[in-house]
Amino acid sequence: MKYFSQFMLLIVAVAVFLGLQYQYWLGENGHAQHDALLSEIAAQQQLNDNQVAENNILRADVRDLKTGLEAVEEHARLDLGLIKADETFVQLSTAPTTTKSTAPAATAN
C-alpha cells in the first residue's frame, strides 16, 4: 500500500505538470499568443515610427510657413503657378514626340 500511494502521488504530479505545460504552450494567454502579440506590437511600432516621421515633416513645414516667406513663395509657385513680375514662364513638355511624313507622294504621269 505504501508504494501504491507514492505511485498515485507521482501520477497526480505528472498530470499537474502536463496540465501546466499545456496551459503554458497552448492555453489562453500562453506562449503562442504571446509571440503573436509581440509581432503585432512590432508592426504597430513600425507604423508609429512612420507616422512620427511624417508628423515631423509637417511640423517643419508649418514652422517654415510661419517664419519665412520662402516657403510661402514655394507653395505659391508649385500649387498656384505664381509668376513674379520680370519673370518668364517656360513650360516644357515631357510627352514623346513623333514625326510623321504628311507630304503627299509624288505621282508620275
Q: Measuring CA to CA, how many Å separate 30 from each of 11, 13, 25, 35?
A: 24, 21, 5, 9
- Residue corresponding to grid cell 496540465: 19
DSSP of 23-64: HHHTSTT-HHHHHHHHHHHHHHHHHHHHHHHHHHHHHHHHHH
| pLDDT of amino acid 53 | 97
Domain ranges of the chain: 32-84
Residue among 75, 77, 98, 79 nearest 87 (CA):
77
Put simply, whether the predicted model's pTM sits higher than 0.75 gets the answer no
pLDDT in 10s for each residue of the chain, 109 residues: 678 889 999 999 999 999 988 888 888 888 888 899 999 999 999 999 999 999 999 999 888 888 878 888 888 888 888 888 888 877 788 888 777 766 666 665 5
